[in-house]
């Protein structure tokens, strides 16, 4: 453990997702000193409409959130 979930808008390639997973894993290895054998990564794709509900639950209403984004997800719907 740890398990990382990357949530992003649909449209990125499998290769882009693989690179993102590798880079996030490497950053976590450096930050907390775990080994690559303990890390798992999943990628979840969303449409801008789907992201509205996920953003509310995962960001707005998440008491464990450490870093807040500086954008309004409704802007994605325009």
- State the CATH number of the domain containing residue 13: 3.30.429.10
Residues 36 and 68 placed together within one structural domain of the fold: no
CA 36 to the chain's CA centroid: 18
Residues 36 and 56 placed together within one structural domain of the fold: no
Residues 55 and 40 placed together within one structural domain of the fold: no
CA dist 62 and 58 (Å) reads: 5
Residues 35 and 11 placed together within one structural domain of the fold: yes
Q: What is the mean pLDDT of each run of 10 residues along the chain (78 residues)?
A: 97 98 97 96 98 97 97 96
Residues 41 and 74 placed together within one structural domain of the fold: no
Give the residue among 46, 44, 41, 45 at the shortest CA–CA distance from 24.
Answer: 41
State which residues form the domain around 2.
1-46
pTM of the model: 0.90
So what's the pLDDT on residue 69? 97
- The domain total for the chain is 2
Residues 33 and 58 placed together within one structural domain of the fold: no
Residues taking part in catalysis: 2
């Amino acid at each position: 453990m740890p398990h990382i979930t990357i949530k992003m808008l649909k449209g990125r390639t499998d290769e882009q997702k693989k690179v993102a997973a590798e880079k996030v894993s490497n950053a976590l290895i450096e930050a907390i000193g775990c080994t690559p054998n303990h890390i798992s990564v999943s990628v979840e794709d969303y449409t801008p409409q789907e992201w509205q509900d996920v953003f509310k639950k995962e960001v707005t209403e998440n008491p464990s959130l450490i870093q807040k984004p500086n954008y309004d997800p409704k802007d994605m719907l325009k």
